[in-house]
Chains A and B, each alone.
Chain A
């Protein structure tokens, strides 16, 4: 049970850290100062969620501490969604990814706040409010881009088409033992809520929902795109160059 629970924590922590790191890459490059602050703050929320989840996983025996779990595992040991490790692309891809993920995490954390595990429920109760905020921010931008100029509409639609094959992985089954024990929600049960949010926002944004297609998979089993290794190499370089270093 403990290994299963650690696995769940690491999946969710890896998701939050990888997307948090991607968003932090915009620091110094965002299209406006306000958006720069927004993306950095979103990243901060996600990295904060990751820290709480890693710390709990370490307590359950998954590793020494949160830092070693974040900085000393290789890409094959990371179990994040492929969607979250893809490069930022243009601003439309960044916003569309954040939207597709937050539209799932908003109901996920809300359901997880009722988890039988008290520690996970506490983390979820904080994260759900943050996810709701992220969803609103991303939805507002997606509407602005989709219903904006011809160019912003074209890019927003292209971003959705690019990311769509990576959305199926969010709904892959969670650990059945943990679901049966009411420790975490079954992702498939959140699909309807996700569909409703996505359809409402796309309609407002005058964007079309991409056609259903073959879905990419593998992140949960540690099989990643070529991009994660490069991202981790940058993210982990200082910690690996100075093992145990403190500052």
Chain B
């Protein structure tokens, strides 16, 4: 028999990121924990960036998913520690990103003040790509262009 905590996790884990709909919040590492207490089920999520505007929608969709499963009382809380980095992105998540046309991030780490990072084209795999803009369609992505197939693409920023 599947317990309440597992049912709540499964419901929350199916919620997708509103800005990158191929990824679930589980793939992203945004879903951190589900705990069962006296006050019901508590789902803990964490933001990718401090000002990520998707957090409100994600919290709301998790609440809706739990309600559809009849899991009540339940609440969604935001936790900041440990801080999210691109290392929280699962391997499956990275592959889904690539297939979707977004270059997955490399290993998280501090970049030097000057210099560029190595990013491969998600379409043709060429390693020669150039930065077009440091801020792409969302705060967590930059805009790059492949030097071989000339395709412009979004790259998930290393963070």
Contact = CB atoms under 8 A, between A and B. Distances in A.
Contacts of A139: 113-114
Interface string B82-103: 1111000000000000000000
A124 to B, nearest CB: 9
A52 interface: yes
B41 to A, nearest CB: 23
A126 B49 contact: yes
A44 interface: yes
B37 interface: no
A138 to B, nearest CB: 10
Contacts of B51: 43-49, 51
Given A34-B133, A34-B135, A38-B133, A126 B113 contact: no
Interface string B48-79: 01111100000000000000000000000001
B50 A197 contact: no
B113 A45 contact: no
Contacts, number: 78
Nearest to B110: A132
Interface stretch (A82-90, A114-122, A167-175, A235-243): A114-122
Chain B residues touching A, range: 20 to 34
Contact of B111 (A37, A45, A136, A200): A136
Given A48-B49, A126-B50, A38 B84 contact: no
Contact of A38 (B47, B53, B80, B134): B134
Main secondary structure of the interface of B (DSSP, over half): loop
B123 interface: no
Contacts of B110: 132
B113 A200 contact: yes
Contact of B133 (A37, A118, A130): A37
Contacts of B79: 122
A126 B80 contact: yes
Contact of B53 (A44, A118, A204): A44
A135 B112 CA distance: 11
A223 interface: no
B134 A118 contact: no
Contacts of B3: none
A127 B82 CA distance: 13
Interface of B: 47, 49-53, 79-85, 110-111, 113-114, 132-136, 139, 143, 157, 159
9 contacts: A34-B135, A38-B133, A44-B139, A45-B49, A48-B49, A52-B80, A123-B50, A126-B83, A197-B113
